[in-house]
Structure 1
């Protein structure tokens, strides 16, 4: 029980960015702020939060780069999905581009923020990680399927099966209060996807966006959306893992070069 509490605390610390977004959604839903639209205010809060997290060293500059990548990926997906009528942002704002408020990218970035934070806090390590090219192809295929399923067959179940086949031997090790545990990576995907679905219900309740069946009154997001979030979690985790893997290889290369220079100086 003590370990579970420690684990929960570390998870909560890793969720600072998402929690601030949820609190902002809730407060702006109940309290009307004059002279500024709701979506514009949420964007300012997100930008301010990002700056403060860097200033107070809650996030590193490398993590901010990862988050920025997710912001662009998420914003591109939002522009497409809103255009296709999958959901909508009904309120007016100055910072809306083609019907999409710019703050929406931060909702995807908050998922990346959580993953970067929890990776560092729980000292995540992966075993039996597949080849980089396989992971890259899977990530691109998942992302493209979000766009192409409107016109051709939806391959999400094949992608999930492919993910299971690729990662069935991959385990994630995490440390809680100096004790190390392990979990199948695929199970962690499912758990994170489930909790994001819960968060999605909270977000739509506070009017972050609307699905077509929520325009008259709020209804619970259909449980089938968990599968969509599962795919998003997979691609998010894979991108973070790939970037961290590349960063680790870069650091190892620098250390080898530095060691080589030191040996040459010593020989001279």
Structure 2
């Protein structure tokens, strides 16, 4: 069923997941089960960085480890995961450079949002590696989203049909990012920007391959689903007091459902960066 795999670990794993011969005899419930299984395996592979980092939130106690504060331990773990992925070939240097961009973009947002004048959320614990009041591991949370999209693109053999003009997509992404800052001063225009994004991506379709056949999904639905799972992860992270919103100080409460929209917009912005980098650096043609 599968073609011969290449020797390295990543070659063996990814070849097994992606180089699949057509299986016309696979039909009905058996086809659904196999495609569902492989889709789950590919999603797990794409989420490797995010998954390992997320698990570390559970296993690192709040008081830290071996005298090192929790936030510093999380930074060490994030760096170790990143190094291991590059060393094992799970991530290319081009992908790493792209992920560094997400790290910078995310950390800048964190510094602004946690500043004294804004205080949208806070990191309550002490850390040696806090910069401007923000633990340096926090940028990896944004990088994890970028890593997932980059990895999923390759492993699920993603193509985009009817992608909007790149300059329009880039403009919407810039408006999304800017609104995260400016809504504290001139009003929150997220729903206007969301309406613009809906119109822009209304015809866009993501084509992906769970097993041996292409499947399709509206691009907007993909954005919403990814945003929802990030919102769930945020609830778990705040439950473990990795960071806290003002209404969670003293007693934990569910993260406001409105944050789902924020994460969905962030996913759109992240996706736009990935697509733009692929278009510019790799000259990938996206059918229109």
Preserved contact between residue 173 and residue 182 of structure 1 (Cα < 8 Å): yes
1:40 aligns with 2:76: no
Aligned to 1:16: 48
* TM-score using structure 1 length: 0.91
1:4-45, CA deviations, whole angstroms, 9 ceiling, x for partnerless residues?
111111101111111112221111136741221111111011
Task: Provide, for residues 165-221 of structure 1, a one-character-per-residue CA deviation record: whole Å limited to 9, x for no partner.
Answer: 111111110011111001111110011001110111111112221111111022111
Say if 2:132 is the partner of 1:106.
no
Partner of 2:84: 52
Matched, 1:2 2:37: no
Which of 96, 105, 127 in structure 2 is aligned with 1:93?
A: 127
TM-score under structure 2 normalisation?
0.85
**What corresponds to 2:60 in structure 1?**
28
The equivalent position to 1:119 in structure 2, one of 153, 166, 173, is 153
Alignment RMSD (CA, Å): 1.3
Give the secondary-structure state (helix, strand or coil) at the position aligned to 1:70. Answer: helix
The count of residues paired between Structure 1 and Structure 2 equals 251
**Residue 196 (1) aligns with residue 226 (2):** no
* Structure 2 unaligned blocks of 5 or more: 1-32
Cα deviations across residues 49-98 of structure 1 (Å, max 9, x unaligned)?
Answer: 10100011111111101100000000000000001100000101110011
Does the 8 A contact of 2:198 with 2:220 survive in 1? yes
Which SS does the other structure have where 1:126 is aligned?
Answer: strand
- State yes or no: 1:69 paired with 2:83: no
Q: Which structure 1 residue ranges, 5 or more long, are not aligned?
A: 253-268
SS at match of 1:80: helix
Deviates more, 1:146-155 or 1:216-225: 216-225
Tell whether the 8 Å contact from 2:160 to 2:204 is kept in structure 1 after alignment. Answer: yes
4+ residue segments displaced more than 6 Å? none
- Work out whether 1:209 is the aligned partner of 2:243: yes
2:60 match: secondary structure: helix
SS class of match (1:226): helix
Query: Does the 8 A contact of 2:34 with 2:211 survive in 1?
Result: no
CA distance in 2, matches of 1:32, 1:51: 22
In proportion to residue count, which structure has more helix? 1
The 8 Å contact of residues 64 and 73 in structure 2, kept in 1 or not, is answered as no
| Cα deviation digits, residues 209-234 of structure 1 (max 9, x gap) | 11111110221111111011011011
Cα distance in 2 for residues equivalent to 1:40 and 1:140: 31
Deviation at 1:135, TM superposition (A): 1.2
Q: 2:63 touches 2:70 (CA, 8 Å); kept in 1?
A: no
